[in-house]
Structure 1
Amino acid sequence: MVLHRRRVVAEVTPKYPGIRITTNGNQIVSYHTEARITQGGVFYPITPSTEMGENYQLAFAEGVLDVFGNPKIAIETEGEHAAQGGAIAYSMTGHRTVNFTSGQGIVYGLEQYYHAPGKLSTMVLEVAARALTKHALNVHCGHDDVYAALDTGWIMLFAKDSQQAADQALILRKVTELSLNPGMNIQDGFLTSHLERTFYKHEADLIREFLGAHDDIIETPTEAQRILFGPTRRRVPVMMDLKNPMLLGPVQNQEHYMNGVIARRDNFNEPILPMLEAAYEEFAALTGRHYGLVSEYKTEDAETVFVSFGSAAENIEAGVDYLREQDNASVGSVHINVLRPFPEAAIVRALAGKKKVIILERADDGLSGDNQMTREIRSLLSKATEIHAVGYESDIPGIAPGDMPVLLSGSYGLGSRDFRPEAIIGAYEYAMGLIARQDGRTPADGAFYFTLGIDHPYAVVADRTPSLLPEGSVAVRFHSIGGWGMITTGKNLSEVIGAIGEDLISQHEELDEFGRPKEIIHVSANPKYGSEKKGAPTSYFLVAAPERVRVNCDLRHVDVVLCPDPKIFTHTNPLFGMKPGGTFVWESAEDPDTVWQRIPAQYRQEIIDKNIRIVTLAGFKIAREATDRPDLQLRMQGNAFLGAFFAVSGMLEEYNVTPERYHDIVRAQYVKKFGRFGDAVVESNMEVMDKGGSMIVEVPYGPVDAPDRSSMRLPALETCDGCAVDIPLPVP
């Protein structure tokens, strides 16, 4: 790939385009955002938000000040209930405060949420959304934890990726401090919280200009607040002040309680949406990143639109492009950025006049007529038809009867169930009446509910299985064992590729639409975590592409499989989904003929037909030569596979990266990760990586009917004369 030096100037270069970093969703929200704007974090670890608390604690331990020069406190409490109560209390002392939680942590602390708005808390709860424990425990992504808190009176924003989550951390913070109402900033657990990508962290000057300091004196923004505070007030009021005490949260009886509840509607709740709209517009003007109450993708001419929130939206947008290109489909996508206050007018404007609306939810409420968000949208559109029929003035546009769309509701992705391209296409084909559910019913039969990704009578799926990855992508899948350092290896690989991309950017001057250096290599990497973890099979997925990677699912169109698990064929088919001409790198110190016999006979013809390249790497042997510590041998084995990836993938040659430059980039990453342990540790990791690239062994194709020794077992013990036991030698 030849990189041409040319400058493309954005039409309007934003003042604060961001600072390029490669990290994951938890880290950009916590370490790179909340730790730079708050004076306190009160939290309790719960998967998958634990890393956010850990990173906030790290910032505290490092003595990181906020961008205004203030120190912070970091408190890990005895549980989520205590964390939520402590965070609310600290926010009422006039400090910017954050808590991090997920799943059961939300519902455990749920009692605490209801009283915070009435006490004018301005805190922010950072959420990595997780499925609630129902018939079984699951620590992966679901939206029922968020649904459980919809009626608590908190502002709730939902991000479709972690860049939006980091940006909305600022936008939400600004609005909580204007409205004096706490908020939740939500991203999908694991699917975005742990997804490694290139992001843009906020410049310190952006934070200072957009937010201002917590102790600034500002003009009081609403009449109700002016009654309480006067014409000006502190940006984050000191509600609990020993020098100026006031009564908060008293006991109220029949004469007073309802007055206060209903008074919040017009005095505090109704101003929030205009404040959000203004904050979104101001942020867009400063950064060039536009969100708004809802985000629309190719909806102008669309007769059918998907509605979703969270990471599904980007997958759907890739599916929209595919359907438009392949089927000439009139289809688009709407992502709801604001769940509370529910942005009724914006949603009606987005959906009015569409023929069909496909609402996908990462939840299922089998005892209700519809799932939660489908109920709200159905109710809203009915309200809009009433407004049209009666003809009264309203902020909500009226909908004529002929402009009322048909609503279809689908459940998907519960507990991070894989959300695949064929599911998106299947949902569209079902809405169009092109396919039926497994039970044979269609929308024409009144079956407006369906499910995706599982075997069920209500399930739909398309026959087509495109990857939806950008042209020129390199897709990588790891197979390893929990505790062997695969996740660390995957993160290292993604960060090395990100650093290579950064180095390439420095060699040319092409700019993107925001006036930033244009990305050359887009990275998207995520592990498939499991509650079993240590000792059990695990996998990790990574894509490097010349364009943004919008698909976040298990990869079934794979260029390179890295397999540190020598017994992989005893429990998994690692060749599944490999593209013709792909490369399989397998842990083994055996000779090529034996390796071929270790491959189950039923897969050998497929390998030959698809021209799959088989290479082995004695990663354990390399690691044992580098360290005598067994725990490090397991983890350093993965480092050898990092070197093997660059040896077999052709990426360095594709992007004209010289061996010398490659080594400099990798060394810089290892110094960053391991430098605190000394130069010897850095050098040993470099040695393992180098050998991983140079010690791969090609495995030529053998006979399809060669002996099948894939069970990895010795011959069974046989009894001989008398009681003696003869243990035969292994077959050579």
Structure 2
Amino acid sequence: MRQSQGESSENNQIASSLAAEGTLKTPEDSVSKKTCKYPGIETVIHGNGAIAHVMGHVCGGVIGYPITPSTEISELFEAFRARGGCNVWGKHPFFFEPEGEHSAQSGAMGATLVGGRFISNASSSQGILYGLESHYVTVGKKAGGFVLQVAARAVSKHSLNVMAGHDDVYALLPSGYTILFGSNPQEATDLAAIAYRVSSLSMVPVANAMDGFSTSHMQCETLLPEPELLKEFLGDPSSRIKSPTVAQEMLYGARGRVYQLQQYLYKHHGDFQPDSLAALGDFLVDRAAEIEADNAGEMVQGSLTWIPEELQGQWRRQWVNAFEKGTRQLVPAMVDVNNPGLTGGVQNQPDFQAGLVDHQTHFVNEIPNFIRQAMDEYGELTGRHYNPVQTFLADDAEHVIVGLGSVTDDAEAVASYLRGQGKKVGVVSIKLLQPFPEGELVAALDGKKAVTVLERSEVTALTNLVTQSLFKARENNDLIRHRGIPPIDSLPKISTGIFGVGGHDLQPRHLIAAYRNMESTLNVPFFYLGSQFFEKNPSPGNAERQQRLKQAYPETEFMALETKENPSLLPQDAFRIRFHSVGGYGTIATGKLLTDILAGVMGLHS
């Protein structure tokens, strides 16, 4: 822990709801040095609390069902709401807990499709699998404005486990979500804000993921987004925007004020003098551009000379209430509860595939542009800049670790240590898992000798995506076939390291071993970090058993890497405190509270 600067209390509603989760502070002496408009509210908080902070300020409603380790996200949101908390647009949100995760996701989808509000659900592991049917439909229905908050947890297999794993996030990949992945509470809260922006612009729902416990319950220094920032950055979900793509304009854009007024004239042509009707028609055509932009109705008066007195009130209402051509609601109303209709009925033969093609071509392909736009806008406002692929000491590195989530922070600390020993090592942290940023990744890995992809799951989805990207880049070196991917003339050696599944301990020596493996001539292509399959000095009985296993399964001898002593990676002015507890899950809550007490009483940050 290290000494913080001067503190002053930051008073707002959501802060009081999260008082038990972090002591909010605004060091004025440091904020004054910031050049960005919104430098953030300093706090010590965990990932669940950091995400709940954003949800409380922006969501119009949350429908969720408890499941470890994401339960706390919805709990904190509901605590804020129950105290009378309103979002930044002055609306009091709703919260509903149904009978299970499937109903939670179905309800959240329905609430989003009604339009005009940002909606969220929070879930993990089996909860995501239970609701998977509804997740597919949520994407298919283009539920823009919906964000699924995920505290990633291992899916129970041979036994129950509630700790970190990426099985649930990988299970979402084929459903079509845009998937963002943060490495710490700071990234979790920032990417949450970015997620709502991308979801509303692209009309494709976003999953904002972080590691369960490793991030969701990890107390950390964080700059929370200010309410004013969220209001400016996201925009009122019930407001109107110019349709950001051609496809959206064609499908969802308003026909316009001129069109609506022309339709009114068509229906009431018998109430007008022929000369007045013709003059009014010419007026609408000749000044169409000005009329479309006249949302305040300032030009109405100039048209009333042709309107019968008894129709002038109707004409004014038609003018003022019409939507500007090509605009849509930021969070569109895809369902009208006052005018029910059927969408997504049975489609056989060519229609179903045509719908898939339309979604991929006209919506999914636009997502990378919206991601970059949102990240750039957020960086300009806050000074906290994000990219789909973020690198650390990777420009001149020969050996690079690629990972998702909290492990990349650990890898960065190890890479800094090894740089001090003259090793050319680096880290690549993936922030956008889907659509996968192939071009950015290839640019980051071009010229590397070896790459190790760290997987918190035995489903090696990230390895597959990295490998596919590099193979496309190599193919482009001979003939450009894959747009947006730079060509490379040689491939690095690619290895996969399974780590931390179900909360398995990962220490610096394990990551150092992964870097050393890339340097070796053997360069084992697949291994488990932290696991040992054979004893070095077995008893006679175990020696015989180990020999039989080695003969039957020879590949296992290479699936565990040799490690050395752990180095100290703490900063010079830092010290470590370890909490011991007799028991299981209570240890986590106790550690969080003690950390918070130390931060507040001793003026320390963790």
After TM superposition, the score normalised by the length of structure 2 is 0.77
What corresponds to 1:196 in structure 2? 219
The match for 1:88 among 91, 101, 109 is 109
* 2:138 is the alignment partner of 1:116: yes
The residue number in structure 1 matching 2:542 is none
1:424 aligns with 2:511: yes
Question: What's the offset of the Cα at 1:383?
Answer: 0.9
SS of the equivalent of 2:478 reads helix
Q: Deviations over 1:362-405 (max 9, x none)?
A: 0114xxxxx2211221111111111111145721111113xx21
Q: Which residue of 2 aligns with 1:463?
A: 564
Q: Secondary structure at the match of 1:127?
A: strand
- Which stretches of structure 1, 4 residues or longer, exceed 4 Å deviation after superposition? 1-12, 483-489
Describe the shift of the 1:333–1:479 C-alpha distance in structure 2 as closer, same or farther (beyond 3 A).
same
Q: Distance in 2 between matches of 1:9 and 1:110?
A: 44
Distance 2:450 2:486 in 1: 18
State the secondary structure of the residue aligned to 1:468.
Answer: coil
- Among residues 322, 329, 333, which one is paired with 2:427 in the alignment? 333
Post-superposition offset of 1:500: 4.4
How far residue 464 of structure 1 moved from its aligned partner, in angstroms, is: 3.0
Structure of greater relative contact order (alpha carbons < 8 Å, 6+ residues apart) = 2
- Structure 1 Cα separation of the partners of residues 376 and 61 of structure 2: 28
- On the 8 A contact 1:118/1:249 being kept in 2, the answer is no
Q: Which moved more, 1:382-391 or 1:9-18?
A: 9-18
Alignment partner, residue 236 of structure 1: 331
Pick from 124, 127, 134: which aligns with 1:102? 124
TM-score, normalised relative to structure 1: 0.64
**Structure 1 residues 135, 9: closer, same or farther in 2, change over 3 A?**
closer
Instruction: Say whether the 8 Å CA contact 1:198–1:498 is kept in structure 2.
Output: no
1:534-582, Cα deviation, whole Å (9 max, x unpaired): xxxxxxxxxxxxxxxxxxxxxxxxxxxxxxxxxxxxxxxxxxxxxxxxx
Which residue of 2 is the match for residue 350 of structure 1? Answer: 444
Task: Report how far residue 482 of structure 1 moved.
Answer: 3.2
Deviations 1:168-204 (A, max 9, x none): 1110110100011111000000011001122121111
Q: Secondary structure at 2:426's aligned position in 1?
A: strand
Q: Answer whether contact 1:361 1:412 (CA < 8 A) is retained.
A: yes
Partner in structure 2 of residue 223 of structure 1: 246
**Contact persistence 1:429–1:462 (CA under 8 A):** no
The alpha-carbon deviation at position 491 of structure 1 amounts to 2.9
Correspondence 1:57 to 2:57 = no
Superposed CA offset, 1:643-696 (max 9, x none): xxxxxxxxxxxxxxxxxxxxxxxxxxxxxxxxxxxxxxxxxxxxxxxxxxxxxx
Q: Give 1:254's match in structure 2, choosing from 349, 352, 356.
A: 349
**Residue among 6, 10, 19 paired with 2:41:** 19
State the Cα deviation string for residues 402-460 of structure 1 (Å, max 9, x = none): xx2111111000101011000000111111118xxxxxxx32xxx41111011123111
Count of matched residue pairs: 486
SS state of the match for residue 159, structure 2?
A: coil
Counterpart-to-counterpart distance in 1, 2:351 and 2:386: 40
Which residue, out of 349, 355, 359, partners 2:453? 359
What are the within-5 Å matches in structure 2 for residues 502-651 of structure 1?
521-523=604-606
Higher helix share: 2
Counterpart CA distance in 1 for 2:89 and 2:238 is: 10
SS of the residue corresponding to residue 151 of structure 1 reads helix
Corresponding letter in the other structure for 1:497: L
- Structure 1 residues 90 and 484, CA, compared in 2 at 3 Å: closer, same or farther? closer
Counterpart of 1:140 in structure 2: which amino acid?
M
| Shift in CA distance, 319/205, structure 1 to aligned 2, threshold 3 Å | same
| AA aligned opposite 1:239 | M
Question: 1:43·1:83 contact (CA, 8 Å) conserved in 2?
Answer: yes
Q: CA deviation at 1:7?
A: 7.1
SS at match of 2:173: coil
Query: Any residues of structure 2 matched to 1:155-554 within 5 Å, and which?
Result: 155-230=178-253, 231-326=326-421, 328-365=422-459, 371-391=460-480, 394-401=483-490, 404-433=491-520, 442-443=522-523, 447-456=524-533, 457=557, 458-482=559-583, 487-500=588-601, 521-523=604-606
Taking a change above 3 Å as real, the CA distance of residues 138 and 68 of structure 1, as seen in their structure-2 partners, is: same
Mapped contact 2:45–2:185 kept (Cα < 8 A):
no
1:204-256 deviation digits (Å, cap 9, x = unpaired): 11011100111011111111111112200110111111345554221101131
Alpha-carbon deviation of 1:489? 4.4
Paired with 2:55 and 2:45, the residues of 1 have a C-alpha distance of: 15
Q: Is the 8 A contact 1:239 1:246 kept in 2?
A: no
Letter in 1 for 2:519: M
Between the aligned partners of 2:109 and 2:586, the Cα distance in structure 1 is: 38
> Following TM superposition, by how much is the alpha carbon of 1:2 offset from its aligned partner in structure 2, in angstroms?
11
Distance in structure 1 (CA, Å) of the matches to 2:394 and 2:4: 35
1:139 aligns with 2:162: yes
**2-side partners of 1:378 and 1:480: how far apart?**
43
Aligned equivalents of 1:315, 1:282: Cα separation in 2:
28
How far apart are residue 499 of structure 1 and its match? Answer: 2.0
Take 1:263 and 1:489, find their aligned partners in 2: how far apart are those partners?
51
Uncovered stretches (5+) of structure 1, i.e. residues with no partner: 366-370, 435-441, 503-520, 524-732
**Secondary structure at 2:420's aligned position in 1?**
helix
